[in-house]
Amino acid sequence: MVIDGATVEAEPRAGQCLRTFLREHGCFGVKKGCDAGDCGACTVHVDGIPVHSCIYPAFRARTRSVTTIHGLAAGELQRRFVEAQGFQCGFCTPGMIMTAAALTDAQRADLPRALKGNLCRCTGYRSIAAAIRGAATPEAEAESDAIGRSVLAPAGPAIVTGRAEFTLDTAPAGLLHMKLVRSPHAHAVIRRIDASAALAVPGVELVLTHTDAPAELYSTARHEHETDDPADTVLLDRVVRFTGQRVAAVVADSVATAERAAELVVVEYDLLPAVTDPQAAIADGAPRLHADKPPTARIADARTNIAASVESHLGGVAEGFAEADAVYEETFEIHRVQHVHLETHASIAWIDPDGRLVVRTSSQTPFLTRDALCRVLNLPRERVRVFTGRVGGGFGGKQEMLTEDVVALAALRTGRPVQIEFTREEEFFGATSRHPMRVRVKLGGRRSGRLTAISVGIVANTGAYGNHAPGVLFHACGESISLYRCANKKVDGVSVYTNTMPAGAFRGYGLSQLVFAVDSALDELARRLDLEPVAFRRANMIGPDDALTSIEGAPADVELGSYGLPECLDLVESGLRSGRGDPPPGDQWLIGEGIGISMLDTTPPGGHRAHARIAERAGGGYVLHVGTAEFGNGTTTVHTQFAASALGTTADQIAVVQADTDGVDYDTGAFGSTGTVVAGGATLQAAGRLREMIDARGGRGGPLLSAEGTSDGLRRSVAFNVQGFRVAVLPRTGEIRILQSVHAADAGTVVNPLQCRAQVEGGVAQALGAALSEHLDIDGTGRVTTRTLREYHIPAFADVPVTEVHFARTSDAIGPAGAKPMSESPVNPVAPALANAVRDATGVRFTRLPLTRDVVYLALAGRAAADAG
Ligand code: FES
């Protein structure tokens, strides 16, 4: 086979796909996002024709010429991807470029069709289209490093040539591979495991079971404060609580051998009764999932399967409803969706020459993962190093420890490097998801336009384990309720254990669910009061002089460091007034408009710490060490801008070394939208101090200088997002067409407009997927039945409308250089804006997601039948 111009003499194994063959021969630019030909991350050319190499048999490429991203002549296309920022995490980019490089002019004119085999989870495709079409963006032409300019991502050249190293784009000598044996039952006790047949397979080195696992209880969730989550998990448990839970780990000299041996591990179970519905799980007589846990496990009430609960009130809602001119009450069902970062969960662990445990992992939290490994494996901090390569997307899904503990244990036992990589199928049933929620909302209001009462009841399904259960529940009913000024508020909620896959952190952290329910209800209440919905929101949302409070009215540890919410509403309303986008001709389309609004605290409560160090480099320039990981959120670019701005230089003079526990003292991690605000704050402080030292030195020579900075994230502000849609709905098919999508964000000082716009576009695209098509199906036994990207359906190019993105002109008094975060919050107002627009068009209030064609068709047909009857 000729690979990238060089002849390779090797025989593919029987059944081996071309992608695996290429990666085994060092072509790490060929990515693995699925095994089904769905995502296109593995696209290569065979004799000049683009193919999905994960479903292309390697033997068919014998005697042919294979070109990967490494062999593609670097040129105009790659340059345009860099300049248009046609990537975020960059995991899809090599495959995307390989497809784009083979397009004819006619295909390039029809990108929705031409790119149907290449998925991107991060960008929303607009910047990819700009790169392929060669459309220059005004921002991309800017060369200044000043804050507020679209400086290009430092990793761009490596991303577009396939040289950026993601977690598994390395192969240490003697590498072993791990495959997990997973439970086929939703609830059971392991009676016996016999691994003798697996151990007898040539090449198998180790089989780990619950008898090998430390007894330490922990949570897979990673937080600054370990006590935030219930300690209800052990590394390998004798009790299985969901179908897909890991039961044993087989370690062998190849993936194929580990897979074959995993099938030979005999596990005998004693089945236990299972419960998959959270309402049933809190009923009397339901099976208890964690009755075996001690009181120190921090479970709210293990006797009733309640992992976490919240209850608070302000004023009296009964009085508030009594004085209302209209009351609206409804239950909203928000479904289970998944992150679908294209790089699946993966890590490699080894023992370095000094005997230290080293873990290279796809994680948003290397420092917190190190600390958890130390606790679980009883190792001192200085004996463990955790770091990341480039991380291929996270969206909260990598704020968990799902792989690192088990490969670390295997590396300690074997003394050899051990690697694990979840398949796409394992992601769907063995990782985590957004918390499904049932939300009862009751709102009362006066015709004068005043909200008189808000009452919200939540039943969240945390699945088999309580990772993030308390945090998501509290956060869900935080900003969604405190956004509105109302004298009478009441919230009660529970997060409930069930025998289903665990839920976890997901972009928005509970707000996407609650904002859908509350903002939909608010829209409906306004209609009942004969008030215009946007004016009703304006009348009741917090104002610039309002103190932010907890629901009980106590002062909150959040301040209005800036306030751009009315401007965001103005921008979206005026955008929609332009009426851009017509319905297709020749059919009876119903047209409607809707808006959703949301607020997000700029950092999590209770502190979020970061440390940065910056030093002069011999030969010129600076090297910046930060702890936070880059997974497509763009913080690396922002950090170079902060440092360059403080040092009075250009961003290309700042080299960044990141996400390594050996690099800086500490960093809580890249979650909760903290990369710009917290790690950025530490960077700005370190660079400012270095500048002072350089100025003090004057023209005198001397040793190279360095300085440090820290940030604790304790002062918190809020960011705002407003989404508007104009839609057309076709009753005879149930189709929803988005005619216009407008988003306005109050991000404070927009440090990098091109990047920030793309974060919003990507967030809107991801939220549209959840609102329109994505759904992780679980059957009555608790088994996940959605197993491929094709069934799950994240948005492809053709599914994503262009979103007009606007920014309020604010500068935050708290955020570094006036900035506020904008990586997480754009998702939150999307679903209610869409549902409100569909309501406006059809008169039907949808209370469940996703709004698939069949759901919309049946609802409209049902209403038509009722009207006729
Ligand atoms: Fe496309 Fe992340 S940039 S998947």
pLDDT, tens only, 837-858: 999 999 999 999 999 999 999 9
Ligand 1 atom at shortest distance from the alpha carbon of 33: 4
Task: Give the pLDDT confidence score for residue 368 in this predicted structure.
Answer: 97
pLDDT band at 550 (very low <50, low <70, confident <90, very high): confident
Q: Please tell me if the CB atom of residue 393 comes closer than 6 angstroms to any atom of ligand 1.
A: yes
Q: Please tell me if the CB atom of residue 592 comes closer than 6 angstroms to any atom of ligand 1.
A: no
Ligand 1 atom at shortest distance from the alpha carbon of 89: 2
Tokens 């759901």 belong to: 855
pLDDT band at 140 (very low <50, low <70, confident <90, very high): very low
Per the rule left: phi > 0, alpha: psi between -120 and 50, beta: everything else, 271 is: beta
d(CA 121, ligand 1 centre) in Å: 5
861-869 long-range contacts, CB within 8 A, separation 24+: 861/731, 864/731
- Three-state SS at 814: coil
d(CA 286, ligand 1 centre) in Å: 42
- Three-state SS at 685: helix
Spatial distance between the Cα atoms of 545 and 139, rounded to a whole number of angstroms: 35
Query: Could you tell which of 87, 631, 797 is best to mutate to test the pocket of ligand 1, judged by most ligand atoms within 8 Å of the CB?
Result: 87
Residue closest to 333 by CA, chosen among 483, 416, 468, 436: 436
- Mind listing the pLDDT tens digit for each residue in 328-372? 999 999 999 999 999 999 999 999 999 999 999 999 999 999 999
Task: Give the pLDDT confidence score for residue 401 in this predicted structure.
Answer: 98
Q: Average pLDDT of the chain?
A: 95
d(CA 79, ligand 1 centre) in Å: 17
Ligand 1 atom at shortest distance from the alpha carbon of 632: 2
Which contiguous run of DSSP H or E holds residue 706? Answer: strand 706-711
- 171: exposed, middle or buried (Cβ count in 10 Å: 0-12, 13-18, 19+): middle
Task: Give the pLDDT confidence score for residue 552 in this predicted structure.
Answer: 79
Peptide bond into 850 cis (omega under 30): yes
Spatial distance between the Cα atoms of 165 and 170, rounded to a whole number of angstroms: 8
d(CA 124, ligand 1 centre) in Å: 9
| Residue type present at position 668 | T
- Mind listing the pLDDT tens digit for each residue in 290-319? 999 999 999 999 999 999 999 999 999 999
d(CA 393, ligand 1 centre) in Å: 7
Spatial distance between the Cα atoms of 280 and 270, rounded to a whole number of angstroms: 22
pLDDT band at 672 (very low <50, low <70, confident <90, very high): confident
d(CA 811, ligand 1 centre) in Å: 30
Tokens 């040092």 belong to: 647
- 212: exposed, middle or buried (Cβ count in 10 Å: 0-12, 13-18, 19+): middle
Angle, helices 830-842/853-868, rounded to nearest 10 degrees: 30
Contact 627, 366 (CB under 8 A): yes
d(CA 633, ligand 1 centre) in Å: 11
Ligand 1 atom at shortest distance from the alpha carbon of 90: 3
Q: Please tell me if the CB atom of residue 796 comes closer than 6 angstroms to any atom of ligand 1.
A: no
Distances (CA, A) of 573 to 297, 596, 723, 830: 49, 11, 10, 15
Residue 143 has pLDDT above 80, yes or no: no
Which residue spans within 27-163 are E strands per DSSP? 43-46, 49-52, 65-67
247: its two tokens? 């039961």
Mean pLDDT of 468-491: 95
Mean pLDDT of 11-18: 95
Helix/strand number for the chain, H first, E second: 25, 28
Residue of the CA atom closest to atom 2 of ligand 1: 89
Residue of the CA atom closest to atom 1 of ligand 1: 120
Residue 148 has pLDDT above 90, yes or no: yes
Which residue spans within 321-436 are E strands per DSSP? 326-334, 346-351, 357-361, 384-387, 418-421
| Residue type present at position 343 | E
Query: Could you tell which of 38, 92, 126 is best to mutate to test the pocket of ligand 1, judged by most ligand atoms within 8 Å of the CB?
Result: 92
DSSP letters for 632-646: SS-HHHHHHHHHHHH
- 280: exposed, middle or buried (Cβ count in 10 Å: 0-12, 13-18, 19+): middle
Q: Please tell me if the CB atom of residue 92 comes closer than 6 angstroms to any atom of ligand 1.
A: yes
Task: Give the pLDDT confidence score for residue 480 in this predicted structure.
Answer: 94
pLDDT band at 171 (very low <50, low <70, confident <90, very high): very high
d(CA 92, ligand 1 centre) in Å: 5
Ligand 1 atom at shortest distance from the alpha carbon of 342: 4
d(CA 630, ligand 1 centre) in Å: 12
724: its two tokens? 């508007």
- Mind listing the pLDDT tens digit for each residue in 748-775? 999 999 999 999 999 999 999 999 999 9
Contact 186, 243 (CB under 8 A): yes
Residue closest to 239 by CA, chosen among 462, 465, 555: 465
Spatial distance between the Cα atoms of 554 and 597, rounded to a whole number of angstroms: 24
Q: Please tell me if the CB atom of residue 221 comes closer than 6 angstroms to any atom of ligand 1.
A: no
Task: Give the pLDDT confidence score for residue 138 in this predicted structure.
Answer: 52
Spatial distance between the Cα atoms of 863 and 853, rounded to a whole number of angstroms: 15
Mean pLDDT of 123-146: 75
Give just the sign of the alpha carbon dihedral 251, 254, 258, 259. positive
Mean pLDDT of 608-613: 96
Spatial distance between the Cα atoms of 842 and 860, rounded to a whole number of angstroms: 8
Tokens 């996270």 belong to: 394
Spatial distance between the Cα atoms of 749 and 370, rounded to a whole number of angstroms: 34
Residue 144 has pLDDT above 70, yes or no: no
Q: What angle do CA 566, 568, 574 make, to 5 degrees?
A: 100
Q: Please tell me if the CB atom of residue 120 comes closer than 6 angstroms to any atom of ligand 1.
A: yes
Task: Give the pLDDT confidence score for residue 548 in this predicted structure.
Answer: 84
Task: Give the pLDDT confidence score for residue 205 in this predicted structure.
Answer: 98
Residue closest to 360 by CA, chosen among 389, 318, 325: 389
Give just the sign of the alpha carbon dihedral 39, 43, 46, 49. positive
Q: Please tell me if the CB atom of residue 632 comes closer than 6 angstroms to any atom of ligand 1.
A: yes
Q: What angle do CA 609, 362, 374 make, to 5 degrees?
A: 60
In percent, how much of the chain has pLDDT > 70?
99
Contact 249, 178 (CB under 8 A): yes
Distances (CA, A) of 166 to 400, 600, 795: 18, 30, 23
Task: Give the pLDDT confidence score for residue 137 in this predicted structure.
Answer: 57
Mean pLDDT of 662-683: 92
Spatial distance between the Cα atoms of 326 and 321, rounded to a whole number of angstroms: 8
pLDDT band at 145 (very low <50, low <70, confident <90, very high): low
d(CA 346, ligand 1 centre) in Å: 17
In percent, how much of the chain has pLDDT > 90?
92
Task: Give the pLDDT confidence score for residue 141 in this predicted structure.
Answer: 43
Residue 747 has pLDDT above 60, yes or no: yes
Task: Give backbone dihedrals phi and psi of 623, rounded to 5 degrees, phi first.
Answer: -120, 130
- Number of C-beta neighbours around residue 182 at 10 A: 18
200: its two tokens? 């007898």
Residue closest to 420 by CA, chosen among 348, 509, 503: 348
Ligand 1 atom at shortest distance from the alpha carbon of 392: 2
412: its two tokens? 């300690």
- Three-state SS at 262: helix
Mean pLDDT of 48-52: 97
For residue 20, the cross-strand partners are none
- Mind listing the pLDDT tens digit for each residue in 365-416? 999 999 999 999 999 999 999 999 999 999 999 999 999 999 999 999 999 9
pLDDT band at 697 (very low <50, low <70, confident <90, very high): very high
Residue 142 has pLDDT above 80, yes or no: no
Per the rule left: phi > 0, alpha: psi between -120 and 50, beta: everything else, 266 is: beta
d(CA 183, ligand 1 centre) in Å: 31
Residue closest to 647 by CA, chosen among 153, 151, 145, 142: 145
